[in-house]
A = this chain, B = another copy of it.
């Protein structure tokens, strides 16, 4: 099947995956905020470890009404903007439109399922190091892997179809049996490293691993998250913590997405990465002293940071 594709949210993730699909010849339409002229004139420039890819022309628009109905919608908005989806998505959706959320954390599939019906919802886990360095440039330092799954059920033929679409576009893409299990597995990494990198003084993963106490904390948080996942019914192996510590050492001086958000003064994806897992663990009765502390500190820091920024802005006026 030849999918008409929309990309909602053209940060690093949306631009990269949408750009790759467009470069592979697919009919891809990007929802973009603000001025479109540069993107329309120059196109997208994807810089990858092995090669550069130029995508032009790029079909980009300021509203989903202009894009119109699609067969597949990639949702790559920051989760802090999830409330906007109720208005953004309807113009893109026909009876059989599939909604694929590539967002971080827990709760995104549920939100789509509630609003648009569970039968059309898929999720993707992006294990990738990618950053948008300008409106038209995306730098991918590690192409990693994309894991696709169905919301709340095992893969269907269509799941493999879509994975094939990504594979044909040069993306390492696989299908997972249980999307929820894999979301928890990813959180085993994101919960400690995204949080500690900010709270530890805006440091990268190498600095966390170098610090004996902080890397012990990271490991302990991982074990706590694995135990919470197990209590919630997702049988992650306890050994996953040590494995992910080893894998992290291979990343070098990597800055987690939330640290980049914090440095840039963007709101943090606190609810998706820490809040929702905490609520589910709590409901299941799993003890989460470290997760609760991370969550509370990040909420407070995010709020204090906004207050400080607002004060600086006020002072500058």
Chain A: how many interface residues by the 8 Å CB criterion?
32
Q: Contact between A211 and B296 (Cβ–Cβ < 8 Å)? A: yes
Known: A289-B289, A289-B290, A290-B289. A297 touches B199 (CB 8 A): yes
| A283-317 interface bits toward B, Cβ cutoff 8 Å, 1 = contact, 0 = none | 00000011011111101111111001000000000
The reply to whether A296 and B203 form a contact with Cβ atoms under 8 Å apart is no
B290 touches A220 (CB 8 A): no
Interface contact A293-B292, CB-CB below 8 Å: no
* A40: min CB distance to chain B, Å: 39
In the bound complex, do residue B301 and residue A199 qualify as a contact, i.e. CB atoms below 8 Å apart? yes
Structural contact, A293 and B293, CB atoms closer than 8 A? yes
Expressed in whole angstroms, the minimum distance between the Cβ of A266 and any Cβ of chain B is 16
Shortest distance in angstroms between A140's beta carbon and chain B's nearest beta carbon?
27
Cross-interface CB contact of A303 among B201, B220, B297, cutoff 8 Å: B201
Extra A-B contacts (10), CB below 8 Å, given A201-B304, A297-B297 = A199-B199, A200-B300, A201-B301, A213-B292, A213-B299, A214-B299, A216-B292, A217-B296, A217-B297, A224-B289
